[in-house]
Structure 1
Amino acid sequence: MHEKTKPTLTNSLLWLMTIATGLVVANNYYNQPLLALIAKDIQVSESVASNIAMLTQIGYACGLLFIVPLGDMFKRKRMILIDFVFIIIALIGMALSPNIQMLSIFSFFIGFTSVIPQVFVPMAAELASKDKQSSAIGMVMSGLLIGILLSRVISGFVGSWLGWREMYWIAAAIMLLTASILAFKLPELNPSFKGTYTELMKSIWSFAKSQPVLQLASFRGAMGFGSFSAFFTTLVFHLQGPPFFDGAAMAGSFGLFGACGALAAAFVNKFTVRYNQRHIITAGICIMLLSWFFFSVLGSFYIGLIIGIILIDLGLQSMHILNQGDFYALNLGANNRLNTVYMVSYFIGGASGTYFAAQAWQHYEWNGVIVVGLIYSIAALIAHLLFDKQLRNQTI
C-alpha cells in the first residue's frame, strides 16, 4: 500500500532537491574565504579565526549524528521545514555576532542545522524507481558538490565588495526563499522506523561497530576530507602574503577550478564497469597525494595551485562516491543510518584537518600545511592498501 501512495520523483522535484541541496550545504563553506576578513574585523589571530571553520564542521558532524536519523522517525517535509527555521536563526546570529565567542557559537549551529542535504540524498533514493536510484543520488550529490565549491566563489566576492557580515544576511534571505518554495513543492514522506529515538541511535552505533566495510570507507573519507580541509582553510592566508598579496575574492574564485575536478569525479561510476573499484579508489588517493606535490613544488605560483586544486577535488570526490557505493552495496536496509556513520566520520576528519592545518600555519606557514595534508592522504592510502582487498573479497 505504501508503494502505491508513495510520491513520484519527477524531474522538476529532483531539480528542486538538487538546487536546495547546493544552497543549504553552501552555508557551511561561506566562512573559508572570509577568515582573513573576520580576523581583521574582530581583531583576532588567523589561527583563532580558523576555529570558525573547524566549529562549523564539528557542528555539521553533530547534526548528521543527531538530526539526520530523525528522517527515519518523523515526516520528512515537516522535519525539513522546521530545520530551515533554525538555519535562518543561526545565519542571522552569525551576521550580528560582535566577537569571536558569539561567532564560534553561531558557526557551530550553522553546521549543526545545515544538514538537509543528507536528508535529501536518501529521500531521492527512496522516491526514485529502482532503475533510476543511482542517477537520482548522483544528481543530488552533484548539487552538493557544486554548492560546496561555488559557495567559496560567492562568499569571496561578496566579502571583498560588501563585507563578510553581508554574506550571512544574503544567505539567510536565500534560505527563507528556499524554504518557502519547498513548503509548496516538496511531497511528504512517512517515517519507516517504528522504534524510539534511543533505539535508533543504538542501531547507528551497532552498525559503526559491526561493519568493517563501513569502518574502512569512513576512515578513508575522514582522512581524505581532512587533507582537503587543511588546504582550503589556509588557502586565504597563503594568498594574502607574498608573492600573491591577494584576498578573499581570489581565494573564493579557486572554487571554480575545484568544481572542474569535482564534476569530473561525478562520472567515476562509469569506470567501475571496466576497472576494479579498489584500483579506482587507489588512484583517487594517489591523485590527492599528487596534488600536494604541486602545492609543495609550485605552491608559490597560481598555476601550481590551480592544478593542485583540480587534482585534490578529483581525487577526493572520486573516493567519496565509491566509498558510499561500498557501504550501500551491503544492502542492510538502513542507508540513512549507514550514511550517518560515514558522514559524521567524514566531517570529524575535516574538522581535525582544519585544526591541525591552522596550527601548522601559525608555526610553519605553508610548509607546515603541506606536511599536514600529506599525512592525512598517506594515512588514507595505507589503510586502503592494508584492508580493502581482503574486505572486498569477503563482503562486496
Structure 2
Amino acid sequence: MQSTPASLPATTPLSPALTLLLATATGLAVASIYYVQPLLGLLSTELGVGSAAIGLLPTLTQLGYAAAILLLSPLGDRYDRRRIIVVKAAALVGALGFAALAPGFAALCVASVAIGLMATLAQDLVPAAATLAPEAERGKRVGQVMTGLLLGILLSRVASGSLAALAGWRAVYGAAAVAVALLIPLLWRGLPRFVPAASGSYGSLLASMAGLWMRHAPLRRAALAQGLLSVAFSAFWSTLALVLAGPEFGQGSAVAGAFGLAGAAGALAAPLAGGIADRRGPQAVIRVGALLVFIAFAAEAVAPASLWLLVAVAVVFDLGVQAALVSHQSVVYSLDAASRSRLNAVLVSVMFVGMASGAALGSALLASIGWRAVPALGAVAALGALVVARRR
C-alpha cells in the first residue's frame, strides 16, 4: 500500500457554509439508521409481522452499517472522496425510496440492509471535514460536523414518530429520500475534488487497517478508551425504557422518549470540546470526559432512586462521552493524513463492538441483578477508559 502525502489542494477552505452543509448531510445520513425504531409497532400491525420478526429491521440496518464501516469507508483513502460521497448519497436515496415503496416485509428487510450500508456516508463526511479543516482548528470543525451527526441521532426518532402519526410510515422514508436528494447537488458543487491519498488494491487497502492498528499506539488507546465509554453509553440507553417502567420509577414510554433530549447537551458540547482540544490538547479533554462518565454512573449506582438524578446522569455522562469522542477523533485524524478514512473505520468499528457489548451486558445485568447493576457497569467501563487514556 503506497500513500501520497497530500489529499487536497491547500487552497481549499472549510467555510462556515460548507461546515453547515457537511453537518447537515452527516445528520441526515446517520438519521436514516434510526427512523425505523419508532415505526416498529406500526409496521408490525400493517405488515402482519410478529414483534419478534419485526425486530429484524433495525438489526439488519445496524448489521449493514457495521459491515460497510469496515468494507466501504476505507475507500475514501483510495478514491476521490467527493465522488464517493455523492454516489453513496444517491444510493441512500434509492434505498430510502425502495423502503417507502416496499410491497412487503421481505422487501423492507432488503431495504433496511441497503440503508445501513449507505448510511455510512456519515463516516465519509467526517473525515472530509478533518481533511479540509486547518490543522489549528481541526478539533473545532470536526466537532461542528459531529454536532450534526449527534442531532441526527437525537431528532430522527422524534421526526419519524411524528410524521408517521400524520401520514404513515411510508411518508417517513419518502421524506427522508427527498431530504438527502436535495443535498446531492449541493455536495457536488460545494465539495472540492479530493486527490486519492493512497494507492493499491482494494484487498491491500483493507489489510492495511491491521497495520495501522499495530503501528499507531494512539489509535489503539483512542479506540479502546472510546470503546469502553461506548459500553457505558449503550448499557444505559438500551435499558432505560425498562428501568423507567420498573417499580423504582413507574414511568411510561413518553418519559423514556423525552430522555433523548439529554443528548442535546452532548451534541451542543461537541464543537466546544473540539475547540478546547485544539488549544490545550485532546488528552486533557479525554480524561475529563471519562471522569465525567465515571462520576455520573457512580452516583447513580449508589444514590437513592430519583428521576431527576437520572436526568442529570444522562446529561453529564452524554457530555463526557461526546467530548471524549471528538477529542479521540482529533487524535486519530492527526496520525496519518493519507489514512484518515481507514483510521476512522478502525475507531468506529471498535466503538460498534463496545456499543453491542454494552447493550448485551446491560440487558443481562438488569434481568439478573437489577437496575443498579447497569450504572455500576457504566462506572467500571468509564474507569477502564480513564486508565487507558492515562497510558503513554
What is the TM-score with the length of structure 1 in the denominator? Answer: 0.81
Q: 1:10 to 1:56 in 2, by over 3 A?
A: same
1:287 equivalent among 280, 292, 299: 292
Alignment deviations for residues 289-333 of structure 1 (CA, whole Å, 9 cap, x no partner): 444457667897653442232123112102212222333344574
Matches of residues 259-278 of structure 1 in structure 2 within 5 Å?
Answer: 259-269=264-274, 271=276, 278=283
1:91 equivalent among 87, 93, 96: 96
Matches of residues 31-46 of structure 1 in structure 2 within 5 Å?
Answer: 31-35=36-40, 37-38=42-43, 42-45=48-51
Distance 1:156 1:304 in 2: 27
Aligned position for 2:321: 316
- The alignment status of 1:208 with 2:213, answered yes or no, reads yes
Query: 1:255 deviation in Å?
Result: 2.6
Q: 1:360 to 1:213 in 2, by over 3 A?
A: same
1:244 equivalent among 239, 251, 255: 251
Aligned position for 2:3: none
Distance 2:278 2:131 in 1: 24
Output the amino acid matched with 2:373. Answer: V
Matches of residues 57-206 of structure 1 in structure 2 within 5 Å?
Answer: 57-95=62-100, 96=102, 98-99=104-105, 103-206=108-211
Distance 1:4 1:182 in 2: 17
Distance 1:159 1:288 in 2: 35
Identity value in percent:
33
The answer as to whether partners of 1:157 and 1:252 remain within 8 angstroms in 2 is no
Query: 1:342 deviation in Å?
Result: 0.4
Paired residue total: 383
Alignment deviations for residues 64-102 of structure 1 (CA, whole Å, 9 cap, x no partner): 211121112222222222212321233234443733x65
Measured on the aligned residues, the alpha-carbon RMSD in Å equals 3.5
- The alignment status of 1:25 with 2:36, answered yes or no, reads no
Output the amino acid matched with 1:325. Answer: S
SS in 2 for 1:114: helix
SS in 1 for 2:176: helix
Tell which deviates more after alignment, 203-212 or 102-111. 102-111
1:337 equivalent among 319, 339, 342: 342
Distance 2:142 2:350 in 1: 20
Distance 2:338 2:148 in 1: 25
Aligned position for 2:391: 390
Distance 2:39 2:191 in 1: 33
The answer as to whether partners of 1:87 and 1:110 remain within 8 angstroms in 2 is yes
Tell which deviates more after alignment, 161-170 or 195-204. 161-170
Output the amino acid matched with 1:8. Answer: P
Distance 1:264 1:128 in 2: 19
Query: 1:35 deviation in Å?
Result: 4.5
Distance 1:369 1:56 in 2: 28
Q: 1:332 to 1:181 in 2, by over 3 A?
A: closer
What is the TM-score with the length of structure 2 in the denominator? Answer: 0.81
Q: 1:379 to 1:51 in 2, by over 3 A?
A: farther
The answer as to whether partners of 1:153 and 1:253 remain within 8 angstroms in 2 is no
Q: 1:315 to 1:135 in 2, by over 3 A?
A: closer
Distance 1:163 1:359 in 2: 35
Matches of residues 354-365 of structure 1 in structure 2 within 5 Å?
Answer: 354-357=359-362, 363=367
Q: 1:190 to 1:283 in 2, by over 3 A?
A: closer
The answer as to whether partners of 1:18 and 1:140 remain within 8 angstroms in 2 is yes
Aligned position for 2:380: 378
Aligned position for 2:15: 10
Distance 2:379 2:99 in 1: 33
Query: 1:265 deviation in Å?
Result: 4.4
Tell me, which stretches of 5 or more residues in structure 2 are unaligned? Answer: 1-5
Distance 2:363 2:44 in 1: 13
Q: 1:315 to 1:74 in 2, by over 3 A?
A: same
Query: 1:270 deviation in Å?
Result: 5.2
Tell which deviates more after alignment, 272-281 or 22-31. 272-281
SS in 2 for 1:136: helix
Q: 1:2 to 1:294 in 2, by over 3 A?
A: closer
Distance 2:284 2:179 in 1: 41
Query: 1:171 deviation in Å?
Result: 1.5
Distance 2:325 2:20 in 1: 22
Query: 1:343 deviation in Å?
Result: 1.0
Distance 1:160 1:289 in 2: 39
Tell me, which stretches of 5 or more residues in structure 1 are unaligned? Answer: 392-396
Output the amino acid matched with 2:217. Answer: P
Alignment deviations for residues 28-59 of structure 1 (CA, whole Å, 9 cap, x no partner): 2223444555556655347x655544443332
Q: 1:202 to 1:14 in 2, by over 3 A?
A: same
